[in-house]
Structure 1
Amino acid sequence: MSAILSPPDAPRPKHKGSAQLFDNPVLERLTHTHFAIPVSIFLLTANVSLYYGLTRNLLTGLSAFALFIAGLLLFTLAEYGMHRFVYHLAITSPARAKFQYTMHGVHHEYPKDKTRLAMPPILTVFVASLLFFIFRFTLGYAAFGVLAGFVFGYASYLLVHYCLHMYAPPRNALKWLWHHHAMHHYTQESAAFGVSTTLWDHVFGTMPRRRPR
């Protein structure tokens, strides 16, 4: 039986290399992916969902736009909540420590490992399918608009997150996103949980403290 390897004690950020999560080579290989694959899957899901809803007259143009924006906003809240309460859950047992390290701690130890900046394709398809059934069951035809906005937000998050780790901050108004995420990784891990937006950090009071000049 394949096992999840134990996380190292108090890992420090390393800018080269990659951690081994599973002792089974097949499972280990499945934990790596190119970020463009899940991004493409989510964008395709968003387009198909909107196209189906509009062409089958399940949505109007105005309602599709409003539902899309609602789904996008919902994703930013989900992104913040998952990052804060699941990826950074309190470590109170060895099982929790392994879960946290496998889900997110490995990313903090190897923040430049570009093959682990997005979920594997198999998991991406599963998540997209699960979201569709949840939204369809709870929202009816409105699901086609909300799902499109939600997975578009997911794709945007993955793209932004990849750029934050792989490229230097740009010399324009977007550089604040780089600084915000860098503070989460290197100085204030218990703050700055938003990646694609700082909106919910402002709302819930988890904006990082600014260092004095």
Structure 2
Amino acid sequence: MVAQEFTVDLNKPLVFQVGHLGEAYQDWVHQPIVSKEGPRFFESDFWEFLTRTVWWAIPTIWLPVVCWCISMSIRMGHTLPQIALMVGFGIFVWTFLEYILHRFLFHIETKSYWGNTIHYLLHGCHHKHPMDGLRLVFPPAAAAVLCIPFWNLVKLLATPSTTPAVFGGGLLGYVMYDVTHYYLHHGQPTKQIPKSLKKYHLNHHFRIQNKGFGITSAFWDRVFGTFPQRIAAEKTR
């Protein structure tokens, strides 16, 4: 007897369904449903609430933390040019992390029940419902937890007085990433650079999903050879 393929019921909470797709999950999750109304994840209203975040919460919550971190390094005696250099370095490091996480973690291939479930929560939901405006930015509670190991990593590699500014720069890079990501999905850019960036990112969603992993820029895609050739060909015409 051939086992019947599992079918996801989009009218029921999705998170604990998608794991049952097994090997079919990868094909299912990369067939986007273009709707601004996102699906329900959990039966529990509490857990459902934690998965939904308005975009403006990101700068509102994290920019004061960025300023506080930078002020710590200033109080420890660093000049403004030094601070600018450290913050800039932190932003640069974030762009690398952004690329690495998106390419190797967010696009990891899974087929087990819990692998599919975790991937869907982490990034698969965004590819399945790319216009869900309340799940385009990272929930602050989860980001706060992740800040701890990143702070300790910077603390390990930097000096006590430079750690806050470098970490603040990385956090600023994250804020820029998240608000840029929201804008690329819901904004209507008129200038050439943001228009090109929007086209580049939507190409990742709707055409070539194994290329174009950068969000705030295509720099690391060019460095590592994952810049979509279709985009490159169009630019040379």
TM (norm. structure 1) is 0.90
Q: Among residues 128, 144, 147, which one is paired with 1:128 in the alignment?
A: 147
Work out which of the residue numbers 193, 198, 210 in structure 2 matches 1:178.
Answer: 198
Report which of the two structures shows the higher radius of gyration computed on alpha carbons: 2
Q: Is the 8 A contact 1:49 1:147 kept in 2?
A: yes
Is the CA contact 2:58–2:179 (under 8 Å) kept in the aligned structure 1? Answer: no
2:229 is the alignment partner of 1:209: yes
**Structure 1 runs, 4 residues or longer, greater than 4 Å off:** none
C-alpha distance in 1, partners of 2:149/2:60? 17
- 1:25 counterpart = 2:31: no
Q: Percent identity?
A: 26
Q: Does 1:78 align with 2:97?
A: yes
Displacement of 1:92 in angstroms is 4.0
Q: Which residue of 1 aligns with 2:117?
A: 98
What is the SS of the residue equivalent to 2:71?
A: helix
Do the aligned residues in 2 keep the contact of 1:136 with 1:143 (CA within 8 Å)?
yes
Long gaps (5+) in structure 2: 1-13
Q: Distance in 2 between matches of 1:41 and 1:190?
A: 32
- Specify the code of the residue in structure 1 equivalent to 2:62: F
8 Å CA contact retained: 2:72, 2:165: no
Corresponding residue of 2:79: 60
Cα distance per residue 1:59-99 (max 9 Å; x no partner): 33232222111111100000000000000002242322222
- Aligned amino acid, residue 83 of structure 1: H
Q: What is the one-letter code of the residue matched to 2:110?
A: I
Deviation at 1:19, TM superposition (A): 2.2
State the shift of 1:171 in Å.
3.7
- Per mean C-alpha deviation after superposition, the further-off stretch among 110-119 and 186-195 is 110-119
Amino acid at match of 2:121: T
Aligned amino acid, residue 119 of structure 1: F
Show the 5 A alignment for 1:107-146: 107-141=126-160, 142-146=162-166
Q: Contact 1:71–1:150 at 8 Å: present in 2 too?
A: yes
* Stretch moving more, 61-70 or 158-167: 61-70
Partner residue, 1:154: 174
Q: Equivalent residue of 1:182, what SS?
A: helix
Distance 1:61 1:49, change over 3 A: same
Q: Which runs of no fewer than 5 residues in structure 1 stay unpaired? A: none
Task: Give the aligned CA root-mean-square deviation in angstroms.
Answer: 2.0
Pair 1:191 & 2:188 matched? no
Q: Conserved in 2, the CA contact under 8 Å of 1:42 and 1:154?
A: no
Equivalenced residues, count: 210
User: 1:164 aligns to what?
Assistant: 184
Residue 116 of structure 1: SS of its match in structure 2?
coil
Q: TM-score, normalised by structure 2?
A: 0.81
Matched, 1:5 2:16: yes
**Separation (CA, whole Å) in 1 of partners of 2:39 and 2:157:** 39
State the 1:180 CA deviation.
0.6
